[in-house]
Amino acid sequence: MNVQPDAVEVDSAVQLALHLDRVRRHRSELRESVAAVDLALEAPIARGGMWRERVRAALAELAHDFDDHVALTESPGGIYDRARHSAPRLSGRVERLLGEHRDLRDAIHGYLAVLEHGGTMADLPIFREELTVLVGRLVRHRQAGGDLVYEAYDVDLGGQG
């Protein structure tokens, strides 16, 4: 079979468009998960076990969605892999985002383990503050990822969804 170079480019462009559409949909899910954690953190700590369970449930969903985010963006042929090859000038930013993935994943799963395994939270206000800082880090990571995609592919993933 003789494949024309133009056909390969079109196929690659179609694959990229499909992948970016998947990233866009998942980005919306991740945004909702981050917002759910933020909302759970706003509830009164005085509710004790109820507060803890609400935060645990929201954080469990976030952990799942963040793991999916990492798998999607770091996959061979995924947006980070493609960005490194199509726009080598962005390689440093890709590496920074990859490092953030490791740090954020460890933090999310660490806090979740405390909530799921009855870890000591002697000072709930401090625990809530740490999680609030984590939410801010996730928002900034999402922004940096959107900026990278725009610079690499001239595609706006959108800030609303």
Name the H helices within the chain: 5-42, 49-74, 79-86, 91-116, 124-153
Predicted TM-score (pTM) of the model is 0.85
Q: What is the pLDDT of residue 11?
A: 56
pLDDT above 60: residue 96? yes
Q: Percent of the chain at pLDDT above 90?
A: 53
Handedness of CA 133, 135, 140, 141 (dihedral sign): positive
Mean pLDDT (the chain, rounded)? 86
pLDDT-based confidence at 120, cuts 50/70/90?
A: low
149 or 32: which leads in pLDDT: 32
